[in-house]
Structures are given as C-alpha cells and as structure tokens.
Amino acid sequence: MARMQQRYALLNKKCEEHITTLDQVNPRDVFVNNEVKLNKIQVYGFDYDYTLAHYTSDLDEFIFNESRNWLVEQMKYPEEILNYDYTEFARRGLHFDVKRGLLMKVDAFHHIQLDTVYRGFKLLSLDEILRVYRGSHLSSDILKQKFTPNDTIMIQLMDFFRLPEINLLCSIIDFFDRHGIDYKPVYVYQDVSTAVARVHKSGLLGQTVMSDPERYIAKAPQLSTFLHRLVENNKKLFVISNSSAAYIDKGLKFLVGNDWQELFDVIISRANKPSFFKSPLGQFRRTDISGTFKDWEAVQTFKRGQIYEGGCLEEMIKLTGWSSASILYFGDHVYADLASGLT
C-alpha cells in the first residue's frame, strides 16, 4: 500500500507539472455545476457577510489578535504566543484533524492531498503521512461537520471568518512542538474555538467593524451599480443574514449608500441560518434599524425597505408568492447557505 501511495504521489506531481492551461484561467470567472438560464431568474437573494460585504485582512488580524490575547490572559497560555502574528498561511475549505492536530486539504473523493499536510507550520513528509493514516483515503465517517470530544474526526473550516482560527491553531501547535510542550490537540482546538467564538458572540467584532467600516469593509465600487441594474430590470431582491439589523445597515450604507433599503424587497436580519432553510417553524417580526424594537403584530406581507427578523424559508416563499425555481441565491458558506429540496 505504501508503494502504491508513493507511486500515486509521484504521478500526481508529474501531471501537475504538465498542466499549463490552468495558468490562463481567470480565478474570478464563474464556474457552474449545472446550467442556469438567467432569463428564468426573477428573484436574486444574497447573504450579507462575505457576499455583499467582504472584509479586509485587518479584520482577520483583529480576530486573531483578540483571540490570541484572550488565550494568554484568561486561559493562561504561554506569553510567548503573543509573538505570533496573523499571516495568510491558510485557505478556506481545509480540514483539521482534531485528534492529531494536523491541517490538510482533502479532495472531493476523500483523498488527502499529500503535499498539503501541516502540523503547525511544518509540512509533513510523505512517509510521515502514510505512517499516520496508512494511506491517503479517508472514510466518510470521519469527515463530519459537528465535533464531539470522543470522535476521531476532521473539521472542515468552511467559513471565511475561520481563517484567523486556522492560523491561531497552527501558531499554538507550532509553539508547543518547537518547545517540546506536551499537549492534546483536541484541547487546543476547543480553546481556540472558544476564544474565536467569544469575539463574535460578545459583540466585539460587530462593534469594531461598525466603528470603522472604511478600515474593515473592502470597498466594492461595482456593487451599487449591479444592484441598481437588477432593480431597473424588474428583478426582485432580498438579503438574508444572521447579523443584526444595525450591522447590516452600517455596512450597506458604506457600500451602497443611505438608500440601500429601497433596493431590497425583503430584508431579513438574525435569520439563524442554517435553521432558516430547514425549519418550518420560524416566524418573521418587523424590527427597526437598531434591532431593539420588534413589532408584536403578525407579518402578513413584506414591505420593501422594511427590516424583518427571524423567520424561515417556507414562510418567506408563502408570503412573497415567489416560485422557488425563479430564485437565485448567493452565499459564501456551502452548508449554511444551501437550502433543502424545497428550493
């Protein structure tokens, strides 16, 4: 088996060396799995974070620094970890082996890409990988999305917001390995996840972005033109986000203008995705920009420019009367932004 894996790796490398056409591919092109007839699309929907609004590397650095500092100050991690800074080392979509503390790329056929396996910032050799996994193929049982401490699983880091988390994981593992400190990777993963989640759940991230959108939100000069063009061509627009109304408002005023609400037929904040797409029980409530006032009357129809909170996909389809076949939805998270067979 080891010889076969070595042979596979060698042939794979040779094939990559002969691929020249990929250098000519524009990474900003649109690649699709199924043909989409845009003349049939009447409704365009968008997530907010990393779809309408993209963020600068300053935000990744902020999340990394806040999480790193909290681990040192509150969890008593070694102070030397403060010497690590955020780098663009990792990419979204990588898998992290929670038991072994290894970061890697796994392809669509569950094969480990043999030149992508890292412990901290150290690239593992082919022999080391084969010794650990006894091959390059992973069973579907360990490629799960939910983590429980007793499982031997791979966590796929799908969210753009998790890039600082990947970097912090690698930084701590790198430090422990360099200094011969014994550690259990699952504990490091749990601590880092807790530290990063705190930045989000405490409201610190939102407050920071809203206090200085020019620093943290990437400018998108064509976004306003694109949205206005859709409206001018009689298309319906909606936005669904887990973020607060105030957070969305601050960002879209910066990106689109003070009249951004008039572009959207439906605006949904605090949607609680992915449950929004799966549960039929969520009900909408009208709210204001601050998100503090919530109307107590049932929502019977959607009003353009009005902000709503909560709800579910089934109720949205019912209230709008839109055909699911006529909706094209854009999101950045392949799991949280995908609906069930309803759409």
Could you tell me where the DSSP H helices lie in 74-216?
A: 126-133, 163-178, 185-201, 204-211, 213-216
Mean pLDDT calculated for residue range 158-175: 93
Q: Of the residues 177, 209, 241, which one is the last residue of a structural domain? A: 209
The verdict on 194 and 69 lying in the same domain is: yes
**Distance, CA of 204 to CA of 287 (rounded, Å):** 22
Contacts of 16 (CB under 8 A, 6+ apart): none
The verdict on 86 and 171 lying in the same domain is: yes
Residue 8 lies inside a defined structural domain of this protein: no
* Nearest-10 crossing angle of helices 163-178, 185-201: 140
Residue 289 lies inside a defined structural domain of this protein: yes
Do the Cβ atoms of 165 and 199 come closer than 8 Å?
no
The verdict on 78 and 191 lying in the same domain is: yes
Reported as a single tens digit per residue, the pLDDT across 60-77 is: 999 999 999 999 999 999
The verdict on 300 and 248 lying in the same domain is: yes
Partner residues linked to 284 by β-bridges: 310
DSSP string, 159-195: -GGGHHHHHHHHHHHHHHHHTT----HHHHHHHHHHH
Residue 21 lies inside a defined structural domain of this protein: no
Q: Of the residues 209, 231, 246, which one is the last residue of a structural domain? A: 209
The 8-class DSSP code of residue 280 comes to: S
Which residue type occupies 21? T
Nearest 5°: the CA angle 195, 95, 79 is 35
Reported as a single tens digit per residue, the pLDDT across 181-193 is: 999 999 999 999 9
Residue 29 lies inside a defined structural domain of this protein: no
Q: Of the residues 175, 209, 243, which one is the last residue of a structural domain? A: 209
Do the Cβ atoms of 89 and 82 come closer than 8 Å?
no
Mean pLDDT calculated for residue range 246-272: 96
The verdict on 162 and 266 lying in the same domain is: no
Residue 63 lies inside a defined structural domain of this protein: yes
The verdict on 75 and 200 lying in the same domain is: yes
Active site residues: 47, 49
**Listed range (44-53, 108-117, 152-161, 241-250) with the worst mean pLDDT:** 152-161
| pLDDT score at 343 | 39
**Total count of domains within the chain:** 2
- Look up residue 120 and give its two tokens: 């901290």
The verdict on 244 and 289 lying in the same domain is: yes
Mean pLDDT calculated for residue range 292-301: 84
| pLDDT score at 226 | 97
The verdict on 62 and 189 lying in the same domain is: yes
| pLDDT score at 151 | 59
Question: For residues 9 and 203, which has the higher predicted lDDT (pLDDT)?
Answer: 203
Reported as a single tens digit per residue, the pLDDT across 115-128 is: 999 999 999 999 99
- Among the ranges 61-70, 281-290, 299-308, which has the highest mean pLDDT value? 61-70
Query: What is the pTM (predicted TM-score) of this model?
Result: 0.84
Residue 18 lies inside a defined structural domain of this protein: no
If one counts every other C-beta atom within 10 angstroms of the C-beta of residue 169, the result is 24
The verdict on 61 and 205 lying in the same domain is: yes
Question: What CATH number is given to the structural domain containing 224?
Answer: 3.40.50.1000
pLDDT for 254 beyond 80: yes
Residue 170 lies inside a defined structural domain of this protein: yes
- Among residues 47, 330, 27, 332, the alpha carbon closest in space to that of 161 is found at 332
**Residue span of the structural domain in which 251 resides:** 34-54+217-330
Residue 342 lies inside a defined structural domain of this protein: no
**Distance, CA of 235 to CA of 39 (rounded, Å):** 11
The verdict on 61 and 98 lying in the same domain is: yes
Mean pLDDT calculated for residue range 26-39: 80
The verdict on 158 and 130 lying in the same domain is: yes
pLDDT for 243 beyond 70: yes
With H, G, I as helix, E, B as strand and everything else as coil, classify residue 113: coil
pLDDT for 341 beyond 50: no
The verdict on 189 and 321 lying in the same domain is: no
